[in-house]
Structure 1
Amino acid sequence: MSDVRRKALETIVNCFDNVFMSSKSYDVRWGKITVLQADLICMKDLLRHKKWKYFINLTGQDFPLKTNLEIVKILKAYNGANDVSISNNQAKFAHRWTNIKSSPPVVFPYKGSLHITVNRPFVEYAITNKTATQLLKWLVGTIIPDESFFSTLNFNSNLGIPGSFQGNLTNAMVLYKSMTRYKIWKLDKSCNGQYVRAICIPAVEDLSKIHSRPELFINKVYWDYEHYVLDCLEESIRNRTIDNILGMIDLNISDYSSLYFVKHALRVHNL
């Protein structure tokens, strides 16, 4: 970001008492450790604030599909479970670690996603635990390390992280469905817009299937491409918020409490 734009952003941030800039900035490069470091510094900064239970990291191209009230209800239905994705074909990504001479500390590496919905104890573990620190150091030499850090922590059940996955790992790779972000992948062949790194930037024609999605957010929505998509999504959230207030719609929470990763999460009292 240029100095001019950063100054403008800082000025806007100063207008709000619940928004702050991260204490440290990185020159983020795709596929490098800086992608992960930028998120970790935000997690560390957030730990200074007491009144939150879940952490959700988003990009500038994510947009909510659920209202604030609905997201709160969904997170309560998670009951402390972490929503961290895992690839259903780990062998495909094994080359990312094979060139590393040493092995990661007491864990087996897994490929997943950088973008997560996790409870506060998970964030505390990722930032302060010695094993997490050693894993982060080991990942520096791997390929696309940001897609391995959180999934490795969440799916190594021996670590005992609150909310982490404790079920059958083979089943998880087939049945695990992340609810954090909806992506229209190129393999789905259902995109009316254009693709960026095999993910669809939706067009107006894609709105009908977007509105009915159960995920919390959609990725990717660009303000300078098919702007009517953003306009419609904004109006939809406004209308749903009003309907929430008036009691005209009620989200089916049971659909979320019965998710595979929710049913097989490590429970900790008073989370």
Structure 2
Amino acid sequence: MAGFSSSSHYVESQKQFREASPLNLRQQVICAIMAGLGFSVFITIHIFFTLVTLDSNAAPNIPSTDTLFQEHEPALKYDILSKANEKWPELIHQDQNISNNAKKFKEFGERFFRRTSKKFQQSSVDCSALYAGDARSVRRAVGISKVLASLEKVKHAKSERTVKLKWLESIPRPPKLVEREVKTWPTWEFQRLTNLWYVRATRNCERFIQTRGYITSPLTLEEEEFPIAFSLIVYKDIEMVERLLRSVYRPQNRYCIHVDLKADPEFLMAVKAVARCFRDNVRMSSERVAVKWGTFSVLEPELICMRDLLAVDSGQAPGLAWGWTKGGAGRERPKWKYFLTLTGQEFPLKTNFELVKILKAFNGANNQEGTIETAEKERWEVPPPHGIRPVKGSIHTIINRATVDFIINSPVAKDFLAWLWDTKFPDETLFASINYNPQLGIPGTYNGSDMERVTQFARFKKWYIEPWVRVCPSRLVVRDICILSIGDLRDLAESPNLFANKFFLDQDRIVVGCLEEKLFNDTRDEFLEKKTFSTEHYANQDFVINQVRTPL
């Protein structure tokens, strides 16, 4: 019995041990974890107070940047300065900032051009052959564009066009072979991007900017330090407007977009959606007007945008992000240097790098066509104030910041604008008259003796004025201006002008696509230093040599 009792006692004790042991093991694990956490916290606090003590002791002994360069060997300068900069951002040296920016621009450019290498390449036509004027390639491309135009007309019966096209002669039907080929292409290849498409696509701005191929870096220090201000006066065709914006966009530039008060509400909504993706350097105009051809309302959007663009640089425009006037490392953001006017049916012929080079070659001079010989006196009834001689020109202009400031803020300019209100075609009078009255003393205006021979570089245009000029490959004319098409590509490529006017996507999508391809290739090659650009032709112009200089 004793043996049995001891045996049963042993079994009972083993049972109790098995029931209790899991709990004891869990407790041991928890205790070990708590101990480990406690030790980690202790070590972290100890290290923190040690670093604080070291920093507080070291701070008074940190020398200035100049002292660092004097007291240490050249091989150690970079390391010492970088350590000091980690603790005191105000010690950042300007040369180092420039070097860092150049490195960032290079890294962005390498990624961008690698990622978008095929995005702007036209797959349906050979643009290089079109630029070379190859007759066979041109005939095929013209046939394709006509098929696309006919499909556009069928699919979008409610055309956005508000001006009447003049058909010079019947347009031949494209070959059946080309027509069948186009209809077999994927629908997305020449997809029409509508107002609704842009509203939806811009819900994710980061993705929109990346997939559409926007260049969000200055690419070069020279471009970063030379911002340009643009006005975009638009009223229809969101796809053409967005492609224009994309082609001239850089983060250092400023953009003001004015949408006609009569424009389709859906178009306005789409333009606003695109502008919102670029924060402060792409802004809608503070006011909108209903533009009517031949009246002061044509000029008014430009005046609104000039005023808005000056306000943006001064940090006074509503809705600006805090610190907008500051650039990298707290440096003052460079103010824009020149103001360029654009409309929604235009496209650049030069890269941003080339625009900067050309404008710097102007050396502060304005470029504006002007004539007195053909200035119609019946456009006004009374002479202008302040002895200003009225000159006929164009609303397409390239003017410096000082001229914009004069037009917006000078009492003399305000009186002249009041006089212009009651004249015909004031948009053709303002910029030319301001530029060709040197007695006003505006830096950059013309003080030479032969305004009639001044070359204008603002626009490439083909005028169809019978019977003198009869060259219009598209056979489409609006107000005596030829609608540009594939047949104009060679002239466009060889033109020294900065922009071209006019393009209609619903009539010829290929010409704009080939211009985009060339701009992309030129931008890439300039970034990779495979292409150079000479400004000698621009720097030697009469209006550059004979300009009103800044008063000393």
**For the superposition of Structure 1 and Structure 2, which TM-score range results when normalised by the shorter chain?**
over 0.9
What's the CA shift for 1:67? Answer: 0.4
- Counterpart position of 2:501: 219
State the distance in 2 between where 1:214 and 1:157 align.
Answer: 26
Q: Please list, as runs of the form range in 1=range in 2, the aligned pairs for 1:41-120 lying within 5 A after superposition.
A: 41-50=304-313, 51-87=335-371, 89-91=373-375, 93-97=376-380, 100-101=381-382, 103-120=384-401
Q: Secondary structure at the match of 2:510?
A: helix
State the distance in 1 between where 2:456 and 2:472 align.
Answer: 20
- Counterpart position of 2:271: 9
State the distance in 2 between where 1:114 and 1:254 align.
Answer: 26
Q: Please list, as runs of the form range in 1=range in 2, the aligned pairs for 1:1-271 lying within 5 A after superposition.
A: 1-17=263-279, 18-50=281-313, 51-87=335-371, 89-91=373-375, 93-97=376-380, 100-101=381-382, 103-168=384-449, 171-173=450-452, 175-187=453-465, 188-193=469-474, 194-268=476-550
What's the CA shift for 1:102? Answer: 5.2
* Bigger radius of gyration: 2
- The one-character-per-residue Cα deviations of 1:187-229 (angstroms, maximum 9, x if unpaired) are 4332211211111111211111111100111111122111111
Q: Which amino acid aligns with 1:15?
A: C
**Which is bigger in relative contact order (C-alpha 8 A, separation at least 6)?**
1
Q: Does the CA contact (< 8 Å) of 1:183 and 1:218 recur in 2?
A: yes
State the distance in 2 between where 1:154 and 1:65 align.
Answer: 24
Q: Does the CA contact (< 8 Å) of 1:165 and 1:261 recur in 2?
A: yes
State the distance in 1 between where 2:502 and 2:303 align.
Answer: 22
State the distance in 1 between where 2:526 and 2:485 align.
Answer: 27
- The one-character-per-residue Cα deviations of 1:151-193 (angstroms, maximum 9, x if unpaired) are 111101110111000010xx221x2111111111114332211
Q: Which amino acid aligns with 2:420?
A: L
Q: Secondary structure at the match of 1:118?
A: strand
- Counterpart position of 2:241: none
Q: Which amino acid aligns with 1:165?
A: Y
- Report the RMSD for the aligned CA atoms in angstroms: 1.5
Q: Does the CA contact (< 8 Å) of 2:372 and 2:392 recur in 1?
A: no
- The one-character-per-residue Cα deviations of 1:106-129 (angstroms, maximum 9, x if unpaired) are 201111001111110100000011
Q: Does the CA contact (< 8 Å) of 1:64 and 1:216 recur in 2?
A: yes
What's the CA shift for 1:263? Answer: 1.3
Query: TM-score scaled by structure 1?
Result: 0.93
Which aligned runs of 4 or more in structure 1 are off by greater than 6 angstroms?
Answer: none
Query: TM-score scaled by structure 2?
Result: 0.47
- Counterpart position of 2:134: none
Q: 1:31 to 1:67 in 2, by over 3 A?
A: same
Q: Which amino acid aligns with 1:113?
A: S
In terms of mean alpha carbon deviation, does 158-167 or 4-13 score higher? 4-13
State the distance in 1 between where 2:378 and 2:481 align.
Answer: 23
Gaps of 5+ in 1: none
Residue identity over aligned pairs, in percent, reads 40
Q: Which amino acid aligns with 2:418?
A: K
Q: Does the CA contact (< 8 Å) of 1:83 and 1:180 recur in 2?
A: yes
Q: Does the CA contact (< 8 Å) of 1:84 and 1:150 recur in 2?
A: yes
State the distance in 2 between where 1:103 and 1:42 align.
Answer: 24
Q: Secondary structure at the match of 1:108?
A: coil
State the distance in 2 between where 1:52 and 1:218 align.
Answer: 23
What's the CA shift for 1:103? Answer: 3.7
Q: Does the CA contact (< 8 Å) of 2:384 and 2:390 recur in 1?
A: no
Q: Which amino acid aligns with 2:378?
A: H
Which structure dedicates a bigger proportion of its chain to helix?
2
Q: Does the CA contact (< 8 Å) of 1:172 and 1:260 recur in 2?
A: no
What's the CA shift for 1:8? Answer: 2.3
- The one-character-per-residue Cα deviations of 1:98-149 (angstroms, maximum 9, x if unpaired) are xx24543320111100111111010000001111111111111111111101
